[in-house]
Amino acid sequence: MSNRYLDYLKREHARLEADIARHHAARFPDNREIARLKKLKLALKDQLAELNRDVAVAA
């Protein structure tokens, strides 16, 4: 994988984290939306970990 794709995944992870924080700060947080965002964030985290592992093995 390219560094560009890894950078994209990191930015997307940070964006999801900010969205989660924004929803938590809302007067009436939408717990279903927060759960959905957390699942997406976890999937990205798993993908990042797998890609980093692949890069470490290839090096």
pLDDT above 70 as % of the chain: 97
Query: The whole model's pTM is what?
Result: 0.83
pLDDT at 16: 97
State the DSSP string of 17-59: HHHHHHHHHSSS--HHHHHHHHHHHHHHHHHHHHHHHHHHHH-
